[in-house]
């Protein structure tokens, strides 16, 4: 059984995470690595239901919202992420715990220590080997996402600026396990930069 990795893509609205997560999954699969590509919120039956509520629900309080994200994560870690890693498969996840710290912590102003404590309980300390931050300014990111706006996309510009700053702080605090890529670069260029790092992580 080869080495498996748990890789997460993070970033603000319109950062192109989903495309990059798919691109990396395809590249690894072509080389014969077993890959599970998943996302948050969602990735399980219950998680996908919760996803609808956090994105489109009306009258959902911010406290409820937080625990919906945690509930979705608990299902994903226990039903998908841990079983895959135990089998030696790669996990590529579009958003994970850092989204909670960035959006609920830095964005909504919830206490970070409290969020970390509950998150550790929910994930049992399972954290990614590598987090790729696709960094984009709040203006540019929101510009790319003008169509159907969910709860978060409707938040103001300052909220998204705080989210971005939160992400950059987390990345700067843990450079061994985070990489920051300029999300305005060409898609294939970003893919190559990420690929180089993944190869290093694989050793
Ligand atoms: P999604 O459509 O997945 O957004 P994106 O395509 O940008 O990933 O919607 C998920 C939204 O939920 C997104 O705006 C970020 C937010 N979110 C949180 O606020 N906290 C969290 O813990 C997670 C996982 C997501």
Per-residue pLDDT of the chain (203 residues; tens, 9 = 90+): 457 999 999 999 999 999 999 999 999 999 999 999 999 999 999 999 999 999 988 899 999 999 999 999 999 999 999 999 999 999 999 999 999 999 999 999 999 999 999 999 999 999 999 999 999 999 999 888 776 678 888 888 999 999 999 999 999 999 999 999 999 999 999 999 999 999 999 88
Domain range for 19? 6-39+77-202
Q: Is 136 part of any domain?
A: yes
Q: Is 104 part of any domain?
A: yes
Q: Is 179 part of any domain?
A: yes
Pocket test residue of 39, 103, 154 for ligand 1, highest count of atoms within 8 A of CB: 103
Q: pTM of the predicted model, to two decimals?
A: 0.96
CATH code for the domain of 198: 3.40.50.300
Q: Is 60 part of any domain?
A: no
- Centre of ligand 1 to C-alpha 26, Å, is 23
Number of domains into which the chain is organized: 1
Pocket test residue of 62, 95, 114, 144 for ligand 1, highest count of atoms within 8 A of CB: 95
Assess whether the C-beta atom of 103 lies below 6 angstroms from ligand 1.
Answer: yes
Assess whether the C-beta atom of 160 lies below 6 angstroms from ligand 1.
Answer: no
Estimate to the nearest angstrom the gap between the alpha carbon of 145 and the chain centroid.
Answer: 17
Q: Is 183 part of any domain?
A: yes
Find the helix or strand (DSSP H, E) in which 135 lies.
strand 130-135
**36: closest CA among 93, 91, 94?**
91
Q: How many CB atoms lie within 10 A of CB 198?
A: 20
Q: Is 142 part of any domain?
A: yes
- Centre of ligand 1 to C-alpha 179, Å, is 20
Ligand 1, atom 4, lies closest to the CA of 13
Q: Is 52 part of any domain?
A: no
Q: Is 70 part of any domain?
A: no
């Amino acid at each position: 059984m080869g080495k498996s990795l748990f890789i997460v893509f993070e970033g603000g609205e319109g950062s192109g995470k989903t495309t990059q997560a798919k691109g990396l999954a395809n590249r690894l699969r072509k080389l014969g690595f077993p890959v599970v590509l998943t996302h948050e919120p969602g990735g399980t039956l219950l998680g996908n239901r919760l996803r609808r509520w956090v994105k489109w629900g009306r009258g959902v309080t911010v406290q409820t919202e937080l625990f919906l994200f945690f509930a979705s994560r608990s299902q994903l870690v226990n039903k998908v992420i841990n079983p895959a890693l135990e089998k030696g498969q790669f996990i590529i996840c579009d958003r994970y715990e850092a989204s909670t710290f960035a959006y609920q912590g830095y964005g909504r102003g919830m206490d970070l220590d409290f969020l970390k404590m509950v998150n550790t309980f929910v994930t049992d300390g399972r954290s990614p080997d590598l987090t790729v931050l696709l960094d984009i300014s709040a203006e540019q990111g929101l510009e790319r996402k003008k169509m159907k706006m969910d709860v978060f996309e409707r938040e103001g510009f300052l909220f998204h600026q705080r989210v971005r700053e939160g992400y950059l702080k987390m990345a700067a605090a843990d450079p061994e396990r985070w990489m920051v890529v300029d999300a305005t670069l060409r898609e294939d260029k970003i893919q190559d930069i990420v690929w180089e790092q993944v190869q290093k992580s694989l050793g």
